[in-house]
């Protein structure tokens, strides 16, 4: 009996084993091929860093910056072709909007592929005609390639949305007071952040980057509308059932099938009218969620790093930054929180040995620093074995503009770096000959 089974097994192996073996080789080669071509394509991208300066008398509303983000959605390919993905290794482009604070003041930078420079300049100058954009050396080159080291220490984290991406954070529209007509008297949510970045002392620096990449609208909007339908009561909320629970539900419906129609968890009866009264808070929440889904969406990664010399290291300014982003918290909707398990450079308890915990913390700090230098964002086919486990959140243009925008005239941070002169047109009667 045993010998017959063994013989049949060997016969099956010799007949079909080669197919299984070749399939495994093919899968392994595909992964190796995709990692190679995607990595080569990313390494071939030529980047530029532009410093953005806005006149001190900037009276543009934050909505102007929202139009900038809407315009840069133009870097999206609207779907890469198979040849581009599997032969050339192309990926969707991304842009990093950054704020830097040091003892000299607050600077605004944009790092982007050189091929998209004209698109960004047109978007910014159309909304901020008096702005200045200058190509500069990447400011991260002022520090060593590897930190922490014997001289410097760092603290930082990525920030992600706490709840489902369909729920928006508090935006500039929520800060607007219709009774205030003058732009300089309106509340600017970036004021607390620029104030914190303006108070750094010698040797201290804080880097903040908002990396954005256009999201596929059909994918994320459909998911957002499903959540909106649940909140509105158009579909029933229900937890996903396991195999046993689902089988029990099926048998229950089968038993009463001759007399009653089946009822399934999480599925509303379209023919059965439902009536529900919404509280004012629920009404406003549904409006905010619908407004978010109606605007362009981006995969976004919000990251900050604080660096100082070891003898003076005190991440109190990181706490100020965390306090600043609490301004965007809507308790009944969404908020930003540190990605504690993935990137927050805080002591871990994964090991009972102190020396082991210190080693893991040092590794996480260096990976976070490397991720900032490279402006890393999750990429397809790139393994995370030697990288941080990065996670993006979906933000629409309204949310992005609330987080990152040139300061208005109402922001009085002492060390902002605006343009020193205001541009003006030449006189129409200026002689051009003689």
Which SS3 state, helix, strand or coil, does residue 411 take?
coil
Cβ 200 vs Cβ 304: under 8 Å: no
Domain boundaries, the chain: 1-44, 47-225+281-403, 234-275
And the tokens for 46?
A: 């030529």
Instruction: Return phi, psi of residue 304, to 5°.
Output: -140, 150
And the tokens for 27?
A: 């899968």
Axis crossing angle, helix 117-127 with helix 62-72, rounded to the nearest 10: 160
Residues in Cβ contact with 191 at an 8 Å cutoff, skipping those fewer than 6 apart: 407, 410, 411, 412, 413
Nearest to 39 by CA among 427, 415, 387: 387
Nearest to 342 by CA among 360, 319, 327, 328: 360
Cβ 122 vs Cβ 72: under 8 Å: no
Q: How far is CA 176 from the centre of its chain?
A: 25
Q: Which residues in 273-312 are b (16+ Cβ under 10 Å) and which e?
A: eeeeeeeeeeeebeebbeebbebbbbbbbbbbbbbbeeee
Measured CA to CA, the distance from residue 344 to residue 299 in angstroms comes to: 20
Measured CA to CA, the distance from residue 346 to residue 74 in angstroms comes to: 38
Length of the chain measured in residues: 434
**Residue 110 burial by Cβ neighbours in a 10 Å radius (0-12, 13-18, 19+):** buried
pLDDT of residue 251: 59
And the tokens for 268?
A: 């509303």
Measured CA to CA, the distance from residue 275 to residue 172 in angstroms comes to: 33
DSSP letters spanning 244-260: HHHHHHHHHHHHTTTTS
pLDDT of residue 434: 47
Distances, alpha carbon 58 to alpha carbons 5, 166, 327, in Å: 83, 33, 22
And the tokens for 212?
A: 């954005």
Cβ 59 vs Cβ 408: under 8 Å: yes
Cβ 83 vs Cβ 76: under 8 Å: no
Q: Which residue has the tokens 């996480």?
A: 364
Measured CA to CA, the distance from residue 112 to residue 213 in angstroms comes to: 11
Nearest to 364 by CA among 390, 337, 388: 388
From first to last of its 434 residues, the chain has per-residue pLDDT tens of 556 655 666 565 556 555 565 666 666 666 778 888 888 999 999 999 999 998 877 677 889 999 999 999 999 998 889 899 888 989 999 999 999 998 888 999 999 999 999 999 999 999 999 889 999 999 999 999 999 999 999 999 999 999 999 999 999 888 775 444 555 556 677 888 888 888 888 889 999 999 999 999 888 888 888 888 888 777 765 544 444 445 556 556 655 555 555 665 555 555 555 556 677 777 888 888 999 999 999 999 999 999 999 988 887 778 888 888 888 998 889 999 988 777 777 755 555 556 677 888 888 899 999 999 999 998 877 766 556 678 899 999 999 999 999 876 554 555 555 555 455 555 555 555 54
Nearest to 368 by CA among 337, 349, 340, 393: 340
Element (H, E) at 131: none
């Amino acid at each position: 009996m045993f010998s017959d089974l063994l013989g049949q097994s060997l016969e099956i192996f010799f007949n079909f084993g080669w197919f299984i073996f070749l399939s495994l080789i093919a899968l392994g080669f595909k992964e190796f091929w995709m990692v190679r071509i995607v990595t080569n394509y990313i390494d071939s991208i030529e980047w530029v860093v532009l410093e953005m300066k806005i006149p001190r008398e900037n009276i543009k509303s934050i909505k102007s910056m929202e139009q900038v983000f809407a315009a840069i959605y133009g870097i999206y390919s609207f779907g890469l072709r198979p040849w581009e993905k599997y032969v050339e290794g192309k990926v969707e482009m991304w842009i990093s909007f950054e704020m830097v604070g040091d003892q000299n003041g607050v600077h605004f930078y944009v790092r982007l592929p050189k091929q998209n420079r004209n698109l960004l300049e047109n978007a910014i100058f159309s909304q901020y005609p008096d702005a200045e954009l200058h190509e500069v050396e990447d400011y991260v080159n002022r520090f060593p390639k590897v930190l922490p080291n014997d001289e410097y220490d760092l603290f930082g984290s990525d920030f992600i949305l706490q709840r489902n991406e369909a729920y928006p954070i508090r935006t500039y529209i929520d800060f607007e007071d219709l009774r205030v007509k003058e732009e300089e008297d309106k509340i600017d949510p970036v004021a607390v952040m620029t104030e914190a970045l303006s108070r750094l002392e010698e040797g201290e620096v804080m880097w903040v980057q908002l990396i954005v990449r256009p999201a596929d609208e059909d994918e994320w909007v459909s998911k957002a509308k499903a959540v909106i339908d649940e909140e509105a009561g158009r579909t029933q909320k229900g937890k996903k059932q396991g195999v046993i629970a689902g089988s029990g539900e099926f048998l229950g419906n089968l038993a009463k099938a001759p007399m009653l129609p089946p009822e399934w968890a999480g599925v509303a009866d379209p023919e059965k009218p439902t009536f529900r009264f919404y509280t004012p808070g629920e009404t406003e929440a549904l409006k905010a969620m619908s407004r978010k889904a109606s605007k362009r969406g981006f995969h976004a990664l919000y990251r900050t790093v604080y660096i100082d010399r070891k003898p003076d290291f005190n991440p109190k300014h990181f706490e100020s930054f965390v306090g600043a982003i609490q301004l965007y918290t809507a308790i009944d909707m969404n908020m930003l929180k540190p990605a504690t398990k993935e990137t927050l450079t805080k002591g871990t308890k994964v090991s009972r040995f102190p020396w082991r915990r210190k080693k893991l913390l040092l590794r996480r700090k260096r990976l976070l620093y490397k991720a900032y230098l490279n402006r890393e964002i999750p990429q397809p086919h790139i393994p995370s074995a030697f990288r941080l486990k990065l996670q993006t959140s979906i933000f629409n243009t309204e949310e992005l503009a609330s987080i990152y925008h040139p300061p208005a005239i109402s922001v009085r941070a002492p060390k902002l770096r605006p343009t020193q002169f205001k541009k003006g047109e030449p006189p129409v009667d200026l002689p051009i000959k003689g």
